[in-house]
Amino acid sequence: MSAYTAAPRARERLQRVIVTRPEPEATAWVQALQAEGWPSQALPLIEIAEPTDAATQQRLQQTRAHWLDADAIMFVSAAAVQHFFSAAVQAPQASQAASVRTRFWAPGPGTARVLAQALATRGLGAEHIDAPAADAVQFDSEALWPVVAPQLKPGQRILIVRGASQPAAAPSAPEPAAQALAGNGRDWLIQQCQAAGAQVQACVAYERRAPPSTPALQALLQSATASGSLWLFSSSEALVHLRGLAPAAVWTQASALATHPRIAATAIVTGFGRVMDTRPALADVLLALESNWSRP
């Protein structure tokens, strides 16, 4: 875990932890944090929905029909798994299951867990899944690469199942500095696969959108700029949406806890007065809270 503020602060008393993950994860995290005594509330800054573009829907249907043709499929998140398998995806016949050669890549244990459940309902075991070790420093594309690199051979077909941002999702586009800091580990992984001679294709399984602005949301955003507010971010795009929803807000009194260094860098550009990063597992988030903040 890293601290990004210039000078350390004394343990700050938290009034609330604001969980910005999409639903239903936001509610699950709020319940888990409250069970440990941390005052928390959900404010999902990303809404996830089915693709609306006809061409994207057609591409998704075609990919679902031939999903085992790929040599490897990377699911960028648990949402990618859930939305890809939300429709009928044909399981291999029992006699063919043992000969399935497709590998399934996950950037972290949360995605791997959801993926294992989806594969199990189709007769495939978790031995088909590749993911970073549970004790990896981070869970991202960079941590996944050493695990999957030995599999790659020229001509192999790699499929990336991901989401796409709705064009209207960010009323205020990210500043160039924020965009550069945020980075994109998936792009880096694609480049590594292509350099190894693989053919990489992408399939959009869901759309990400900013939540609609309402008077209640605006009131919460304004109150959460004060000292004692800690924002938990698991996506740089959530910060982009936050800037679009509250472009005039000043965040210097509020704190941010990010589940990846790239997200922490974007929180700094956004203007949060105290920014730290942590591994994304609940145990690590709780450790960060216990070490740096106190309950009310």
Task: Give the DSSP letter string of 223-252.
Answer: HTTSTTEEEEES-HHHHHHHHHH-TT---T
Residue where a domain stops, chosen among 155, 187, 209: 209
Place of tokens 């304004």: 222
- pLDDT tens digit at each of 296 positions of the chain: 555 553 445 678 999 999 999 999 999 999 999 999 999 999 999 999 999 989 999 999 999 999 999 999 999 999 999 999 987 888 887 767 778 999 999 999 999 999 999 999 999 999 999 999 988 888 889 999 999 999 999 999 999 999 998 754 333 333 333 332 333 567 889 999 999 999 999 999 999 999 999 999 999 998 999 999 999 999 999 999 999 999 999 999 999 999 999 999 999 999 999 999 999 999 999 999 999 999 98
What is the extent of the structural domain holding 94?
49-209
Query: Could you give the CA distance from residue 227 to residue 198 in angstroms, rounded to a whole number?
Result: 49
Contact 225, 183 (CB under 8 A): no
**Pair of tokens at residue 29:** 């995290």
Answer for the pair 251, 225: CB distance below 8 angstroms, yes or no: yes
Residue 72 belongs to a domain: yes
Q: Are residues 53 and 146 in the same domain?
A: yes
Output the pLDDT for position 187.
Answer: 85
- Domain holding 171: CATH number? 3.40.50.10090
32 occurs within a structural domain? yes
Residues 92 and 195 in one domain: yes
What tokens were used for 32? 């888990």
Residue 251 lies in a domain: yes
Q: In terms of domains, do 25 and 73 share one? A: no
pTM for this one? 0.81
12-13 and 293-294 beta bridge pairing: parallel
Give residue for tokens 């829907």: 57
